[in-house]
Structure 1
Amino acid sequence: MTHVGDLLAKMLMDYGVEYVFGMPGGQTTALHDGISRLAPKIQHILVRDERSAPYAADAYARLTGKPGVCDVTVGPGATKLPDGLVEAYNASIPMIAIVGELPLDWVTLRHKGVASQGFDQQAFFQSITKATFTVPSVEALPDVVRSAFRIATSPRPGPVVIIVPHDVMDAPYPVDLATPIESRCIYAPSVRYRPPQDDVARAAALIARARRPAIIAGGGVHGSDASDALTSLTDLLRPLVVTSLSGKGAVPESRPYCAGVLNPLGSAGAIELVKEADLLIWCGSKASQNTAMNWTLPLAGQATITIDADPTEHGRTFEPTVTLCGDVRLTVEDLHAALLDAGAAPQPEWLDIISTRKSALTAKLHAELTTDTSPLKPQRVMHEIAERLKPEDVVISDASWSAGWIAQYIPAQQNGRQFIYARGQGGLGYSIPAAIGAGAVQRARGGYVVTVAGDGGHSFSIGELATLAQNRLKVVNVVLNNGTLGWLQMWQEIYFDALRQSVDLSFGNKPDFAAAADAMGLLGLKVNAASELAGAFDAALAYDGPSVIEVIVDSRATPIHSFRRRLADTSGKVAARPGTVYELRQWRTAVDLKQAEESLA
């Protein structure tokens, strides 16, 4: 029997979808039947928890540029999707989520679950997706699928939900039903456009006048596949380059003008140097709370240029001096050409300042990376990863402090998306599910996936280790076990008079994450001393399958610079609690910043 599940599977395959991540349900079994008939051109990967499915699809999308696809059943499957959908929505990641549904004519029986598992799924998803469609008929499905891919891949990319009622999914479909696809929507962004050339000329003139220009590169650089173009531009201009966490690798951090990640978890050099710039160029970065350092950037006197494909992103927290609304890659290419015409050149004094500041930090960073003190420092663990990382490998960060350890201590040696961060929502438990999607991609590329998580984040999705093992994915999961929810523990200690409430995770020498990995079919390794690190990493990378390296680390180590300063303060005073966001965040108008452009005249 040929049913709509076959039609849907074929359309996904025609859109270049190689993997669907999710969990079967009675209402979606026809889809899995259709996928099985088309395998191995399209394959389904079973997750242990539906919450993991969109995270896996998210990582797949970031590495391929194609929409990641996940599927769940009606009701309890659907209610597990929001974490991953919000991550994709906020981070502009193209995604298609296929959700089962009760039969079409059971409309009144969905209310309060009169029909098993029923509720209003359409309303549930609408606020956290670019679009949510319920398929009303067999004939309408092809157009819904085309619309979903068009919306998911169009600027600004994001997630789309397709809800397929049970009777539609199981229904036969006419063999002559047309199912064409839009080939331009296989990859995001499906539409690229240039900013007005007058704006490009204004921006180039402003850059040519700047004495201390800085580029802040965000995840939009990777989303537009613009890292090659941006690296070419920065090699010409040699400005200060810093990135958001998601933008790490937009330009190789080995370049002498690069200062690392701009974030409270990031590079001290980036945080300090960006304050000395006279021009900030926000390139594919939404000037979010963390990248804009709690919206203290731009400073008074700093001119600004914003480069973004989303018209609503320009001017959200400050009024730019020049706005370049267009695809990031095309805009950077046009700007590069305009800078050549304008005679823009590197500023030797600015390069000297950058070099001097970076040199002052190098010795400190080297000492932290190579220390063999006990208990082990997370920095030392990052050194072992960096020493072994190959260009084809991928590093995935969980939320919280893992992001800071990676950002500061594992440099991006080449441009491109080698580092994946969950910064759209920043939820714990991202790294292992994301490694499922990344690992599937890496099968063809031949590289490893390395995840870094704290013991808290690792615990969120530990069940998915079985998924890694079942699929023999080459993933090395590094668990930095400090026995606590470190960020929260220090927040309580610093701001609430040494409070310690519901932050401790370990009891005795348990949990034993290495033993748990062994029990689920992975190679489990535990490290207590620096002398054991090299052997553990070499064994994990030589193993033909996934592994877990559990490293017992210093519970007093933190990548947050402000926390380090406060922990070093021996006055015994409780720190003043930080002000509320709306006390700190001030939208600056062109009048507030007008002296910036005048100073470059």
Structure 2
Amino acid sequence: MTHPNPHIGDMLAEMLAQSGVDYVFGMPGGQTTALHDGISRRQDRIRHILMRDERNAAYAADGYARLTGKVGVCDVTVGPGSNLLPAGFLEALNASIPMLGIIGELPSDWLALREKGIASQGYDQLALFKTCSKAAFMVPSVAALPDLLRTALRIATAPRPGPVALIIPHDIFDADWDEAALPVVVDDRTRRIPYLRSVPPADDIARAAALIRKAQRPALVCGGGVHGSDAAADVTALADMLDALVVTSLSGKGAVPETRPYAAGVLNPLGAKAAIDLVPEADLVIWCGSKVSQNTGMNWTLPTPEQATITIDIDPLEHGRTFRPTIPLFGDVRDTVRALHAALGKGTAGTRPDWMERIAKIKAACEAETAEEMASTQVPVLPPRVAAEIGRRLGEDDIIVSDASFAAGWIAGYIPARKPGRQFLFARGQGGLGYSVPGAIGAATQLAPGARVVTLAGDGAFSYTIGELATQAQYNQRIVNVVINNGKLGWINLWQEIFFKNPISSSLETQGVVPGYAAAGMAMGLKGFYVEKPDEIGAALDAAFAHEGPSVVEIRIDDRATPLHGFKRRMRETEDKPRPRPGTVYKLRAWKVSPDL
């Protein structure tokens, strides 16, 4: 599309639009105004969402990328804008989320003036972003920009996704664009992850199928890589014919419907007790798109030394990071699962009645306990009751965005995934507080007609990014923000109490000063609802769900409630019993070699 007096901002906006990017999240600055001008001329294909904080621009881009599989793009200006991005970049890096940060810079010939901000706002941005990105580039010239943008998008999407920083000096941004000399050429493979798909050798697939047939108690652990590969439907089809236990990481929730009899929920200290109890009993564990992190590996007690293992991952470095698998399947999750399904033929369904009976027994016992919590009429409210009320109102296309800390556990253990696909977004790359409100902004740009985004955050997490409620209101997004308010940093408060008998510095309230989050939302133009009793939750959620714009539902909860099983166990102990300091409970992780069956 030709415009009068085109500049490099036009070229960049056009390349992004042709690369499939339809939203950019960020905060304008003088050095990046050309980009915003270019986007404004292409409103039919690409739009800009104005965020209130640059860190939240990365979180919004992250939420967008998780739902779409496209590269999430955020833009910031030099200095105080760029130095807020690393938190969101680290989340995307550790969670393997495709992201591009477009970062303004001082003019190219001011290199010597960046040190100590001699030129206003200057510092070594490239050095900073090399520490928190998959790759970082300083654009040296107008001529180099198109190829560097293509390279950045390729790296962001392949082979393992991640964030890439593209730093563009002011003089390059403002330069004229000669469309004949610099034509727009894009790589359509970078429109959506995965960039390329591959499958393991047929011999490895055959060996893995034979090992699965031989197993008596197989388990399938699904991580976020299942969603990154758009493989949930294929993984569910495989699971349906295995007679195997299936659990997920937090990021993998929705890899299979949790309503299936073989599905035992989320494997995590915050997750489902049935998953935690059952996986150690397996004789074969298939790790599918999972990096077997500290939490999914239950502090690396999994896999046990006796368990045979199969790993399915597109990243070659994951086939041996914390243990050597019995059989590594190096390839794209979706195509590898399809190949494995074909090799198994009709599968092994009906061949393991004892294992399926054991799964049903453990699940029934754990579900009875959670059902009692979800039906609680206690005041202050128990969070499982909140989760149950949310779950009953969710539509098929609604999206759940979790904040960090206990909110993730209340969602993981008490709101089931009813269909395969990425419907639940968890910030687990870093697990930083404050993800849900901005993450929902990115997710809300992709909603199906009539659908909504629901966030769940504690009052501590919600406080981090409360300013972005103004963004939700500005764009009239269908977002229901649920704040479970206990007046404390819940996790830290219990940690201080359990291990130090001194819950200092974790209270968010003082006598006579009680923040009102529903009221704050109303002050920014949202609907606000405050709830103190269980029988008030339903009406407040009904009104929030019916509203065509954003809302805040604040619910006062029990400040002793925790989904963390380790905390529950310690809190059941006698209060006068000495508590070990946390430094006494950790051991050096041992690297393992998985056996054959």
**Shorter-chain TM-score range:** over 0.9
Change (3 A) 1:581 1:54: farther
Alignment of 1:561-576 (within 5 A): 561-576=565-580
Paired with 1:237 and 1:172, the residues of 2 have a C-alpha distance of 60
Task: Tell me what 1:536 maps to.
Answer: 540
**Mapped pair 1:279 → 2:281:** no
**Mapped pair 1:334 → 2:339:** yes
Task: Tell me what 1:317 maps to.
Answer: 322
1:405/1:559 contact within 8 Å kept: yes
The amino acid that maps onto 1:39 is Q
1:309/1:325 contact within 8 Å kept: yes
**Mapped pair 1:33 → 2:37:** yes
Task: Tell me what 1:524 maps to.
Answer: 528
Task: Tell me what 1:587 maps to.
Answer: 591
Task: Tell me what 1:112 maps to.
Answer: 116
Paired with 2:545 and 2:125, the residues of 1 have a C-alpha distance of 43
* Long gaps (5+) in structure 1: none
1:55/1:84 contact within 8 Å kept: yes
Note the C-alpha offset of 1:500. Answer: 1.6
Secondary structure of 1:174's counterpart equals: coil
1:448/1:475 contact within 8 Å kept: yes
Note the C-alpha offset of 1:353. Answer: 0.4
When the two structures are superposed, what TM-score results if normalisation uses the length of structure 2?
0.97
Change (3 A) 1:582 1:571: closer
Q: Which moved more, 1:123-132 or 1:266-275?
A: 123-132
**1:439-461, CA deviations, whole angstroms, 9 ceiling, x for partnerless residues?**
1111x544100000000000000
Task: Tell me what 1:395 maps to.
Answer: 400
**Mapped pair 1:467 → 2:471:** yes
Secondary structure of 2:108's counterpart equals: coil
2:264/2:275 contact within 8 Å kept: yes
Note the C-alpha offset of 1:342. Answer: 7.6
1:527/1:536 contact within 8 Å kept: yes
Paired with 1:338 and 1:568, the residues of 2 have a C-alpha distance of 49
When the two structures are superposed, what TM-score results if normalisation uses the length of structure 1?
0.97
Q: 2:390 aligns with which of 385, 388, 395?
A: 385
Note the C-alpha offset of 1:285. Answer: 0.3
Task: Tell me what 1:170 maps to.
Answer: 174
1:236/1:346 contact within 8 Å kept: no
Note the C-alpha offset of 1:585. Answer: 1.3
2:437/2:468 contact within 8 Å kept: yes
The amino acid that maps onto 1:312 is L
Paired with 2:578 and 2:99, the residues of 1 have a C-alpha distance of 45
1:2/1:172 contact within 8 Å kept: yes
Count matched residues.
591
Secondary structure of 1:441's counterpart equals: coil
Secondary structure of 1:237's counterpart equals: coil
Paired with 1:342 and 1:551, the residues of 2 have a C-alpha distance of 47
**1:513-567, CA deviations, whole angstroms, 9 ceiling, x for partnerless residues?**
1111100000011000011111100000111100000000000000011111111
Secondary structure of 1:161's counterpart equals: strand
Task: Tell me what 2:240 maps to.
Answer: 235
The amino acid that maps onto 2:50 is L
Note the C-alpha offset of 1:170. Answer: 0.2
Note the C-alpha offset of 1:346. Answer: 4.0
Note the C-alpha offset of 1:111. Answer: 1.0
**Mapped pair 1:417 → 2:412:** no
Change (3 A) 1:106 1:433: same
Change (3 A) 1:138 1:257: same
Task: Tell me what 1:294 maps to.
Answer: 299
Secondary structure of 1:367's counterpart equals: helix
Task: Tell me what 1:485 maps to.
Answer: 489
Note the C-alpha offset of 1:341. Answer: 7.3
**Mapped pair 1:430 → 2:435:** yes
* Long gaps (5+) in structure 2: none
The amino acid that maps onto 2:502 is L
Secondary structure of 2:442's counterpart equals: helix
**Mapped pair 1:136 → 2:116:** no
The amino acid that maps onto 1:221 is V
Note the C-alpha offset of 1:575. Answer: 2.2
Alignment of 1:483-522 (within 5 A): 483-496=487-500, 498-507=501-510, 508=512, 510-522=514-526
Paired with 1:126 and 1:346, the residues of 2 have a C-alpha distance of 51
Secondary structure of 1:305's counterpart equals: strand
Note the C-alpha offset of 1:343. Answer: 6.2
Paired with 2:319 and 2:489, the residues of 1 have a C-alpha distance of 36
Paired with 2:432 and 2:584, the residues of 1 have a C-alpha distance of 21
Change (3 A) 1:509 1:550: farther
**1:305-356, CA deviations, whole angstroms, 9 ceiling, x for partnerless residues?**
1110000011111111000000000110011111117867641110000011
**Mapped pair 1:201 → 2:206:** yes
Change (3 A) 1:581 1:133: farther
**1:55-100, CA deviations, whole angstroms, 9 ceiling, x for partnerless residues?**
0000000000000000000000000000000000000000011000
Task: Tell me what 1:44 maps to.
Answer: 48
Q: CA RMSD in A?
A: 1.3
2:241/2:346 contact within 8 Å kept: no
Q: Could you tell me the percent identity over the aligned residues?
A: 60
**1:387-410, CA deviations, whole angstroms, 9 ceiling, x for partnerless residues?**
001110000000000000000000
